[in-house]
Amino acid sequence: MATGKINVSVENIFPLIKKFLYSDHEIFLRELVSNGTDATLKLKHLISIGEAKVEYGNPIIEVKVDKEGKKIHIIDQGLGMTADEVEKYINQVAFSGAEEFLDKYKDSAKDSGIIGHFGLGFYSAFMVAEKVEIITKSYKDEPAAHWTCDGSPEFTLEPADKTSRGTEIILHIAEDSLEFLDDSKISGLLNKYNKFMPIPIKFGTRTETLPKPEDAPEDYVNETVEIDNFINNPNPAWTKQPSELSDEDYKNFYRELYPMQFEEPLFHIHLNVDYPFNLTGILYFPKLGNDMQIQKDKIQLYQNQVYVTDNVEGIVPEFLTMLKGVIDSPDIPLNVSRSGLQADGAVKKISNYITRKVADKLKALFNENRADFEEKWNDIKIVLEYGMLSEDKFYEKAGAFVLYPTVDNTYFTLEELKEKLKENQTDKDGKLVVLYAGNKDAQHSYIEAAKDKGYEVLLLDSPIISHLIQKIENDNSGLTFVRVDSDHIDNLIKKDENTISKLSEEEKATLKTSLEAYIPKAYSVQLEAMDSQAAPFIITQPEFMRRMKEMSQTGGGGMFGMGNMPEMYNLVVNTNSDLASNILNTEDKTHQEHLVKQALDLAKLSQNLLKGEALTAFVKRSFEMIK
């Protein structure tokens, strides 16, 4: 029997491993199962190139919990190790990076991929075990070896009587980690980290009910059998070629990833690249609607089918973190803190690739079946609009498929829109005016006024629309977006024809003075000569002020502090209406005040601004009038 000291200059590294990886003890199982998988896949490779003259068979990895003995066994049928290799790989190599690891990554050691990178994967066992044994037999014709270490730098290494190829690791679970002897805990961890590992993983057995024979009597009790419980799917959808998968396969895989999700995804994007880096994966667009507060962290990151994290910040462009699915890449550097991850050149390339691939797929979907794409538009627009704002590369491609719906549910791309509106909605200065509403019901009267003029009105209702239209205007000179309730219709698209006012300048001045006596300070009175059939009082909200306020409320953009500005409104009074003449000509000041307040309340009502006490008073006053 050999004894020795582990080759490491830090006298006792195990407390340090425990301390720095404290937050994530559970990953010991992931690391040990991954090591077993690697050993099995390496054996497969050696057999395929003729280096190992043994039968590969159907190797599995088995995890066993021994509650009584307080032990966990992880057993593989991979290439195993000779005594010399145990000495080399376990005692020396494992710690070659240990000190550098501790110095450099103390703060980011909690990031889950870090341990394996430093050859510390095996030693994560000491986070939960007070003693670890390795019993291993190499595929080479050499005796088996038995290594034992109790968490101090001393170890023992002796021959073992194991006859089958592979490695068994036995963890003697420490008192502070007995939770890991619970079957459901282990089963949960295997499901979380190893659900798609490429070698079948057995954990215990499960009972399966056999089908009823056709000629069974009525009181027949179905027979049951105990079968091995394999917890993983070694060939998940993303490891296959898109040509091998049907739509149903993609949907089934979505259910496998998200068993508690009841809504089907709208569509998927299969990623598959091997140059200049390796990356595979499937992203799904779930139904999103207008909600910006979507549950993020729904994309799972894998490295060679081993689950790493669901924080994919920096790898996936931010606007796509609202999607669901899987990304698997051996090239993502996990040995650095997250800020380093984003700065890494390979990671930026991966992020750009994903952006491009998503844009290409959306364009293809749009071209293949536009009607279907239009139908799904409201469920996906928030992601795409956010993408246009945050990723220039996506914005460049978005013109081909981003849609602008009208209040009548017709859809245009930006180029189609320009063509459609050119003739009717160009103002006297040659500017193309795109009218839009944010809420079909609240702005109904304004929409109708625009439609009466033969104008198209878009329905743009997502929370970031003010930011987006600002960007589109900056990139398209001669184009401006104006919300339908930001002025009366003749002012929204100024043409040359001016309506003559029935009132003289002097009468207008008198009318304005009378109105301002009763109108609250939040309203700026604006007299306009309009069609006599147009509404006498219209409340509008200046486009610039409202847009800046919205932009500062949804983060970024806008002017500093404008989110807290009080609402500002214009009260547009039609000087050609009978009501304006009545207000001007009435001698009775009480009656004049009554007319102004009633008209203002009606205008407020049409803008959904009449609420609470003011609404109660208005209703009461209106009933008085119709007694």
What is the spatial distance between Cα 166 and Cα 61, in angstroms, rounded to a whole number? 10
**516 vs 106, residue with greater confidence:** 516
Tell me, what's the pLDDT at 339? Answer: 39
What is the spatial distance between Cα 239 and Cα 339, in angstroms, rounded to a whole number? 29
For the chain, how far is it from start to end, CA to CA, in angstroms? Answer: 109
What is the spatial distance between Cα 195 and Cα 504, in angstroms, rounded to a whole number? 81
Tell me, what's the pLDDT at 118? Answer: 45
Q: Does residue 106 have a pLDDT over 70?
A: no
Tell me, what's the pLDDT at 518? Answer: 87
Report which secondary-structure segment, H or E, holds 62.
strand 61-66
Report which secondary-structure segment, H or E, holds 538.
strand 537-540
Q: How far is CA 39 from CA 64, 272, 332, in A?
A: 19, 26, 22
Instruction: Report strand pairing: 432-437 vs 457-459.
Output: parallel
For residue 276, is the peptide bond before it cis, meaning its omega torsion is within 30 degrees of 0?
A: yes
Please give the average per-residue pLDDT across 397-405, as a whole number: 95
Structure tokens at 155: 């170890």
Tell me, what's the pLDDT at 531? Answer: 78
Structure tokens at 314: 């920096």
Q: Does residue 130 have a pLDDT over 60?
A: yes
Tell me, what's the pLDDT at 311? Answer: 78
Q: Does residue 59 have a pLDDT over 80?
A: yes
Q: Does residue 95 have a pLDDT over 60?
A: no
Structure tokens at 317: 């462009």
What is the spatial distance between Cα 419 and Cα 129, in angstroms, rounded to a whole number? 71
User: Which band of pLDDT confidence, cut at 50, 70 and 90, is reported for residue 74?
Assistant: very high
Cα–Cα nearest to 466, from 552, 545, 551: 551
Please give the average per-residue pLDDT across 367-381, as a whole number: 93
Which of 25-34, 493-502, 568-577 shows the lowest per-residue confidence on average (mean pLDDT)? 493-502
184-223 per-position pLDDT tens digit: 999 999 998 899 999 999 999 999 888 888 877 877 888 8
Residue percentage of the chain with pLDDT more than 90: 39
What is the spatial distance between Cα 544 and Cα 305, in angstroms, rounded to a whole number? 51
Please give the average per-residue pLDDT across 134-155, as a whole number: 90
Fill in the amino acid letter for 138. S
Tell me, what's the pLDDT at 419? Answer: 94
Q: Which of 70-74, 111-115, 519-523 has the highest mean pLDDT?
A: 70-74
Tell me, what's the pLDDT at 270? Answer: 94
Q: Which residue has the tokens 């079909």?
A: 440
Structure tokens at 142: 């050499």
Q: Does residue 394 have a pLDDT over 60?
A: yes
313-342 per-position pLDDT tens digit: 778 888 888 889 999 988 776 543 333 455
Structure tokens at 486: 């930001």
Phi, psi of 432 (to 5 degrees): -85, 120
Q: Does residue 97 have a pLDDT over 80?
A: no
Cα–Cα nearest to 205, from 183, 227, 225, 190: 227
Structure tokens at 489: 């219709």
Tell me, what's the pLDDT at 277? Answer: 82
User: Which band of pLDDT confidence, cut at 50, 70 and 90, is reported for residue 350?
Assistant: confident
Structure tokens at 113: 């991929």
Q: Convert 207-230 to b/e letters by CB count within 10 Å (16 or more is b).
A: eeeeeeeeeeeeeeeeeeeeeeee
2-13 per-position pLDDT tens digit: 776 655 544 455
Please give the average per-residue pLDDT across 59-73, as a whole number: 96
257-297 per-position pLDDT tens digit: 888 777 889 889 999 888 778 899 999 998 875 555 555 65
Tell me, what's the pLDDT at 151? Answer: 75
Please give the average per-residue pLDDT across 50-74, as a whole number: 94
For the chain, counts of helices (H) and of strands (E) = 20, 22
User: Which band of pLDDT confidence, cut at 50, 70 and 90, is reported for residue 343?
Assistant: low
The alpha carbon torsion through 61, 62, 63, 68 (nearest 10 deg) reads -160
Please give the average per-residue pLDDT across 384-389, as a whole number: 92
* Contact criterion met (CB below 8 Å) for 436 and 397: no
Burial-class residue 144 by CB neighbours within 10 Å (0-12, 13-18, 19+): buried
Tell me, what's the pLDDT at 296? Answer: 60
User: Which band of pLDDT confidence, cut at 50, 70 and 90, is reported for residue 66?
Assistant: very high
Tell me, what's the pLDDT at 338? Answer: 38
Report which secondary-structure segment, H or E, holds 419.
helix 414-421
Structure tokens at 543: 């486009």
Tell me, what's the pLDDT at 165? Answer: 96
Residues 6 or more apart in contact with residue 404 via CB below 8 angstroms: 411, 412, 413, 414, 417, 434, 458, 460
The alpha carbon torsion through 253, 351, 467, 474 (nearest 10 deg) reads -130
Tell me, what's the pLDDT at 125? Answer: 87
* Mean model confidence pLDDT for the chain: 84
SS3 state at 324 = strand
Cα–Cα nearest to 358, from 271, 486, 423: 271
Q: Which of 86-90, 96-100, 229-233 has the highest mean pLDDT?
A: 229-233
**Partner residues linked to 172 by β-bridges:** 71, 131
What is the spatial distance between Cα 6 and Cα 92, in angstroms, rounded to a whole number? 7
Q: How far is CA 19 from CA 15, 16, 105, 127, 189, in A?
A: 6, 5, 13, 9, 21
* Contact criterion met (CB below 8 Å) for 334 and 111: yes
What is the spatial distance between Cα 532 and Cα 577, in angstroms, rounded to a whole number? 5
Q: Which residue has the tokens 């949907």?
A: 251
Tell me, what's the pLDDT at 400? Answer: 93
Q: Does residue 593 have a pLDDT over 90?
A: no
Structure tokens at 175: 């008192």
Residues 6 or more apart in contact with residue 123 via CB below 8 angstroms: 13, 14, 17, 94, 115
What is the spatial distance between Cα 424 and Cα 455, in angstroms, rounded to a whole number? 7
Report which secondary-structure segment, H or E, holds 71.
strand 71-76
Q: Does residue 41 have a pLDDT over 80?
A: yes
* DSSP output for 426-473: B-TTS-EEEEEES-TTTTHHHHHHHHHTT--EEE--STTHHHHHHHHH
Tell me, what's the pLDDT at 109? Answer: 43
Please give the average per-residue pLDDT across 80-92, as a whole number: 84
443-491 per-position pLDDT tens digit: 898 899 899 989 999 999 988 888 999 999 999 989 999 999 888 888 8
What is the spatial distance between Cα 285 and Cα 22, in angstroms, rounded to a whole number? 36
